[in-house]
Amino acid sequence: MGWNRHITLSLVALFATASPSLSNEIGDADKGAAVFKECSSCHSVGQGAKNRVGPHLNGIFGRRAAGLDGFRYSNGLTRMGKDGLVWDFDLLDRYVENPKAFASDTRMAYKGLKDAGQRADLLAYLRRYSDDPGNIPEAAPTMAGTDHSVDAAILAIQGDPEYGEYLSSECTSCHQLSGDNDGIPGIIGWPAEDFVVAMHAYKDKFRPHPVMQMMAGRLSNEEIAALAAYFEVAGP
Amino acid sequence: MKLNRRLFMGGVAAGAAAATLATPAAHASNQGKPKVVVIGGGAGGATAARYVAKDSKGEIDVTLIEPTRSYYTCFFSNLYIGGFRELNSIAHSYGTLASEYGVNVVHDWAVGIDRAARTVTLAGGATLSYDRLILSPGIDFVEGAVDGWDVSHQNAMPHAYKAGSQSELLKAQIEAMPEGGTFAMVAPPNPFRCPPGPYERISMVAHVLKAKNPTAKIIVADPKDKFSKMALFQEGWGLHYDGMIDWIGPDFGGGDVSVNPDAMTLTIDGEETKVDVCNVIPAMKAGRICEIAGITDGNWAPVNPHTMQSRMDENIHVLGDASQQGDMPKSGFAANSQAKVAAMAVRSALTGSKLFPAKFTNTCWSLIDSDDGVKVGASYEATDEKIAKVDGFISQTGEDAELRKTTYEESIGWYAGITSDMFG
């Protein structure tokens, strides 16, 4: 297992732009086994692994998000699974880096692993328990990761709720102010920070969904803050 | 942001009394509220009435003129034809606009507009004055567009392009087709309301016939060589309804069509066919009230993209299908989006509220068969010349069934969302 490439997310983006063919190296699986100890209070992997607080991770590479029968996933991951999200290196890397940014309502109560090298080691370790370890599924170029962590200065922007209310009329063509969750998720009453992180994750194409990527893609930082300020206090 | 219930019994009389006021500023000095009249209670008009009333918090009197008491949305009316929705599930009334938002809802036809006096005359004889008029009348059909057909033939050959009784009629005719019979559609030329609509309808008709009358045939005579979501529909038709649908484009005479409603025949490129149902969707133009107001150029009413104001009268805003605005399709979603921009501009002009830059969005979902939904959408901005497309997306051919099912479920959520955004 001489895989030994430590990559950062921004490198993934660069590679994906330049050429879709990435090397098959991930990281050091033996080191990853040590990193996994942090996960093992909730997740099991390997022979006899079963669902515990979190789903078992055998075969996680190539599995559809929220893809295990009998495990109760968050609505967010369930929706992503229905939208066609299949876990590959790039997506797992983003999810592990910042679970809440990837799926606001994820039940994974884990703050995220910031060290790209450690994530690569961890994923190399998990890769041992998925099919065909030599053939690592790569992300499609359109799913290329960008550094999604939202800058503190952006999070600190005080949004103008009046502007947010005007902008929100674009949202309410689909998202109901009643908070109804059928078919399209309700977004009223979201904590502003979660809202900002989620919208930037779409804007950066970190979260997959074509409509939301388009909607968020044309919003400025101030506009996202304004919407967050409005929706935080909007009620049915 | 709900207004207290207010009584508008005197609204019409008060409006008439204010007819001589020249400018909005004059209202302030006369303690009168500025008046907005909205003609047409569909996706554009209902949204505009609701947003002006809601966001002005009682500072503007809003009157909505709509002839029907129950409004049937054109969007999702194909799903009714396909048996996926009940007709009453696409019917909406104006009770909430009146009770929750204080909109004065008048069920009547607008028959005249005096732009100099800023008044609207109703068929019932009343005259309403306005400071700003919002026209959202939808579409009418171009006379003589399909040889042999005019609106007097709409019972024999329904258009079903204004939802309600026409949708019921078309559905009943499809269900009464003889075994192995023929359903024909005459598709319209561009531009027209709901670009994927005729093709979603074909899908829904095929869905019904496949179950009830599987040897029946469908003919589509089309003057266009390509149409909205064409690859997606054609893939779906092959997948679900193989061999049932014969789409005849202009290369094969699809643009050279005449009908005979008495004999129930359709002639394409000189070749006459006996048909059992003939859905004629003629070429379209802005609702007639736009012509009456004298704000059309050709078939449509050109607008300023920043505010949706008529290019010919800054006191009139035109929304939705009737407007000629640039890149947006004529859709309920687009009308709803444009209505919010117009509502903001109207409030700003009449009460001095903040004017933010115009933004527009559209997404159109279509159903091809059970749980097989597709979508296309885009975002737009206002330039001085037109509403210009910024970015867009479309469903892809070959998507898996799970994604198509999610897309359909999304459309159901959207329907609930947009109709509550329109009607409260």
Q: Which residue of A has its CA nearest to B358?
A: A167
Residue B99 burial (CB count, 10 A): 16
- Its ipTM equals 0.75
| A94-119 tens-digit pLDDT | 999 999 888 888 888 888 999 999 99
Q: What is the pLDDT of residue A188?
A: 84
pLDDT of residue B13: 39
Q: Which of residues 391-410 of B touch A (CB under 8 A)?
A: 391-393, 399-400, 402-403, 405-406, 409-410
As a whole number of angstroms, the distance between CA B309 and CA B288 comes to 18
Per-residue 3-state assignment (H helix, E strand, C coil) for chain B: CCCCCCCCCCHHHHHHHHHHCCCHHHHHHHCCCCEEEEECCCHHHHHHHHHHHHHHCCCCEEEEECCCCCEECCCCHHHHHCCCCCHHHHEECCHHHHHHHCCEEECCCEEEEECCCCEEEECCCCEEECCEEEECCCEEECCCCCECCCHHHCCCCCCCCCCCHHHHHHHHHHHCCCCCCEEEEECCCCCCECCCHHHHHHHHHHHHHHHHCCCCEEEEECCCCCCCCHHHHHHHHHHHCCCCEEEECHHHCCCCEEEECCCCEEEECCEEEECCEEEECCCEEECHHHHHHCCCECCEEEEECCCCEECCCCCEEECHHHEECECCCECHHHHHHHHHHHHHHHHHHHHCCCCCCCEEEEEEEEEEECCEEEEEEEEEEECCCCEEEEEEEECCCCCCHHHHHHHHHHHHHHHHHHHHHHHC
Could you tell me if residue A101 is inside a domain?
A: yes
For residues A127 and A47, membership in a common domain is answered with yes
Q: If pLDDT is split at 50, 70 and 90, which confidence band does A151 have?
A: confident
**Structural domain includes residue A187:** yes
Q: Quick one: average pLDDT of B276-304?
A: 98
Strands B277-280 and B271-274: unpaired
Last residue of a domain, one of A143, A162, A186: A143
Domain boundary among A115, A143, A171: A143
Could you count the other beta carbons within 10 Å of the beta carbon of residue B117?
Answer: 12
Count up the domains in chain A and report the number: 2
- Residue A181: closest C-alpha in chain B: B413
Contact between A235 and A189 under an 8 Å Cβ cutoff? The reply is: yes
What pLDDT is stored for residue A148 in this prediction? 56
Average pLDDT over residues A23-39: 82
Rounded Cα gap, residues B383 and A219, in angstroms: 17
Q: What is the CATH number of domain B11-140+285-354?
A: 3.50.50.60
In this structure, the answer to whether residues A93 and A190 fall within a common structural domain is no
Residue A210, domain member (yes or no)? yes
Pull the structure tokens for residue B62: 């809003």
What is the mean pLDDT of the segment spanning B353-375?
A: 95
A134 lies in the same domain as A101: yes
User: Are the beta carbons of B43 and B139 closer than 8 angstroms?
Assistant: no
Same domain, yes or no, for A139 and A156?
A: no
CB contact under 8 A, A182 and B416: yes
Q: Which residue has the higher pLDDT, B168 or A59?
A: B168
CATH number at residue A29: 1.10.760.10
Q: What is the pLDDT of residue B1?
A: 39
One domain for residues A99 and A16: yes
Poorest-pLDDT segment among A68-72, A128-132, A180-184, B308-312? A128-132
Interface of B with A in 150-209 (CB under 8 A): none
B333 touches chain A (CB under 8 A): yes
Topology classification of domain B146-282: FAD/NAD(P)-binding domain (3.50.50)
Say if A198 falls within a structural domain: yes
Return the residue in B56, B363, B394, B423 with the most chain A beta carbons within 10 A, the one to mutate for interface testing: B363
Q: Which pLDDT does position A180 carry in this prediction?
A: 78
Least confident of A128-142, B77-91, B217-231, B402-416: A128-142
Q: Please check the confidence at residue A223 and state whether its pLDDT lies above 80.
A: yes
Compute the distance between CA of residue B48 and CA of residue B11 in angstroms, rounded to an integer.
18
Q: State which residue of chain B sits closest to A179, comparing Cα positions.
A: B417
Per the model's pLDDT, the better-predicted residue between A200 and A104 turns out to be A200
Q: Report the alpha-carbon distance of residue B276 to residue B180 in Å, rounded.
A: 10
Chain-wide mean pLDDT for chain A?
79
Which of chain B's residues have a Cβ under 8 Å away from the Cβ of A82? 402-403, 405-406
From the CB of residue A235, how many other CB atoms can be counted at a distance below 10 Å? Answer: 10
Taking the domains of chain B in order of start, what are their residue ranges? Answer: 11-140+285-354, 146-282
Say yes or no: A43 and A69 in one domain: yes
Rounded CA separation B137/B48 (Å) = 12
The answer to whether position A4 is within a domain reads no
pLDDT at B14 over 60: no
pLDDT of A139 above 90: no
A3 within some domain = no
- Average pLDDT of span B349-357: 93
Q: According to the model, what pLDDT value does residue B291 have? A: 98
Q: Which residues of B touch A83 (CB under 8 A)?
A: 403, 406
Are B336 and A174 within 8 A, CB to CB? no
B220 vs A53 pLDDT, higher one: B220
Q: At residue A4, does pLDDT exceed 70? A: no
Is the pLDDT confidence value at A14 over 70?
no
pLDDT higher than threshold 70 for residue A135:
no
Same domain? A70 vs A186: no
Same domain, yes or no: A160 and A66: no
Residue found under tokens 């609204």: B11
pLDDT tops 60 at residue B392: yes
The Cα B159–Cα B157 span in angstroms is: 7
Residue B346: is its pLDDT beyond 50?
yes
Omega prior to B191 cis, within 30 of 0: yes
* Residue at token pair 């709900």: B2
Residues of chain A with C-beta less than 8 angstroms from the C-beta of B413: 174, 176, 180, 182-184
d(CA A206, CA A149): 10
Would A214 be classed as within a structural domain? Answer: yes
Residue A12 has pLDDT above 70, yes or no: no
Contacting residues of A for B378, CB less than 8 Å apart: 214
Nearest to B149 by CA among B254, B222, B253, B257: B257
Q: Is some CB atom of chain A closer than 8 A to the CB atom of B235?
A: no
Residue A50 — pLDDT band, cuts 50, 70, 90?
Answer: confident
Q: How far is CA B70 from the centre of its chain?
A: 15
Same domain for A79 and A14: yes
Q: What pLDDT band is residue B5 in, cutting at 50, 70 and 90?
A: very low
Residue A1 lies in a domain: no
Tell me which of A89 and B166 has the higher pLDDT.
Answer: B166
Please give the mean pLDDT across all residues of chain B.
Answer: 93
What is the pLDDT, as a whole number, of residue B2?
40
> What is the spatial distance between Cα A158 and Cα A221, in angstroms, rounded to a whole number?
10
pLDDT tens-digit series, residues B254-282? 999 999 999 999 999 999 999 999 999 99
* pLDDT in the model for residue A236: 65
CA distance B193 to A95: 42
Mean pLDDT of B193-212: 98
By residue range, what is the domain housing residue A35? 9-143
Check whether B99 has a pLDDT greater than 50: yes
**B11-140+285-354 and B146-282: identical CATH topology:** yes
Domain boundary (A97, A117, A143) is at A143
The whole-number average pLDDT for the span B112-116 is 98
User: Phi and psi (nearest 5°) for A206?
Assistant: -80, -40
pLDDT the model gives residue A10? 38
CA–chain centroid gap for A1, Å, is 28
Q: Are residues A93 and A161 in the same domain?
A: no
Beta bridge pairs of residue B330: B193
3-state secondary structure A88-156: CHHHHHHHHHCHHHHCCCCCCCCCCCCCHHHHHHHHHHHHCCCCCCCCCCCCCHHHCCCCCCCCHHHHC
